[in-house]
Amino acid sequence: MPIVTPLTRMLGIRVPIVQGGMQWVGVPRLAAAVSEAGGLGILTALTQPSPEALRVAIRETRKSTSKPFGVNITLLPTINPPDYEGYARAAFEEGVRIFETAGNNPGPLIKYFKANGCIVIHKCTTIRHAKSAEKMGVDVLSIDGFECAGHPGEDDIGGLVLLARAAKELKVPYIASGGIADARGFAAALALGAAGVNMGTRFMCTVESPIHQNVKDKIVASTERDTVHIFRTLHNTARVFKNKVSMEVVAIEKRGNAKFEDVRDLVSGARGRQVYETGDVDYGIWSAGITLGLIDDIPTCKELIQRFESGVEDTVGALSQIVQKENATVCPVSKAKL
């Protein structure tokens, strides 16, 4: 049976699964595969070196799918910010109408997208930020729990509580992000009122993911204990894979009074990109969520999404057997309700 939610109706997709907008990972091959499989593929704008390169990536994605896909634009805390406006304009002019935003001060981007009739999914790590984005006019909120890869915020609140709070306090649809990598988690998110889920780490470990096979194999071999938080003392916490470089960063922070300059070379984006390209999992920092503990194979995106569809149906069916109606038939032998 189809899974129909406000997200599937709004975006015109078959399955309410959104691929996370991951740096160096959200490229045409993966985004197109997710969309073709029935979810929403996402191109990561800042993976492309320029707005013009993003135009090329959008055209390449369209060659592989005629189904909806979106573009992620994450606003980074940096002295020399990228040309966010240029990326946004290029994507809109290329016909993209679904955008995922994240980071601080998204107001100007959201205003631009809404003025042009676009759908905006905004990622938040707290309910107070979600309510602020709601006032800005976003269409969907992506609620990012402490379990997630990348930046979980500084409040350390898990998805179970965040999603329950969202159900009570938000007026627009929301999706669960962080900690989802199997059908049980998908069903749990729906039970908590989410209109869908956002997955990053799980899509990293698919056939169509552009990262090196060594990294995919490492994901399969890892457990939920194989991530670590860096930048805790810098108040910009990030969950990454636990390797030689990330543990060195943690050691530097533990010495006290660490500054970003002390770890800049270790955490450079160029080194992280090399991990994905060469397969040397210890060369740099790379994001991974605790869903590592739930990933034990490398399916195609189509296989993965089909597994989620059938798994949710099975899980919901099993739960329906737990709740017995008052007028259930009584067994004449045991006197138990059937």
| Span 62-74, pLDDT tens digits | 999 999 999 999 9
Given this model, what pLDDT does residue 78 score? Answer: 79
In sequence order, what E strands does the chain have?
17-19, 41-44, 69-75, 98-103, 119-124, 140-144, 174-177, 197-199, 227-230, 238-241
Given this model, what pLDDT does residue 79 score? Answer: 75
Given this model, what pLDDT does residue 320 score? Answer: 86
Q: Quick one: pLDDT band at residue 247, thresholds 50, 70, 90?
A: very high
- The CATH 3.20.20.70 portion of the chain extends over 13-212+297-320
Rounded-to-integer distance, Cα 331 and Cα 313, Å: 28
Q: What's the rounded mean pLDDT across residues 17-42? A: 98
Q: What is the DSSP string of 80-100?
A: S---HHHHHHHHHHTT--EEE
Q: Are 159 and 138 in contact (CB under 8 A)?
A: no
Tokens representing residue 163 in the block? 């999603």
Tokens representing residue 170 in the block? 């938000």
328 pLDDT more than 70: no
Helix (H) or strand (E) holding 162: helix 159-169
Tokens representing residue 287 in the block? 């994001």
338 pLDDT more than 90: no
Rounded-to-integer distance, Cα 229 and Cα 220, Å: 20
Q: Quick one: pLDDT band at residue 332, thresholds 50, 70, 90?
A: low
Q: Which of 284, 276, 222, 281 has the alpha carbon at shortest distance from 249?
A: 284
Q: What's the rounded mean pLDDT across residues 120-135? A: 97
Given this model, what pLDDT does residue 324 score? Answer: 75
Q: What's the rounded mean pLDDT across residues 18-29? A: 97
CATH number at 13-212+297-320:
3.20.20.70
64: amino acid identity, one letter: S
Given this model, what pLDDT does residue 321 score? Answer: 87
Average pLDDT for the chain: 95
Model confidence pLDDT, tens digit, residues 36-68: 999 999 999 999 999 999 999 999 999 999 999
The strand pair at 98-103 and 69-75 is best described as parallel
Please tell me which residue, 1 or 282, carries the higher pLDDT value: 282
Rounded-to-integer distance, Cα 230 and Cα 252, Å: 10
Q: What's the rounded mean pLDDT across residues 5-34? A: 98
Model confidence pLDDT, tens digit, residues 162-204: 999 999 999 999 999 999 999 999 999 999 999 999 999 999 9
pTM of the model: 0.93
Return the half-sphere exposure (C-beta side, CA atoms, 13 A cut-off) of residue 37.
28
Tokens representing residue 16 in the block? 């309410």
Tokens representing residue 338 in the block? 């059937």
Given this model, what pLDDT does residue 327 score? Answer: 63
Given this model, what pLDDT does residue 76 score? Answer: 86
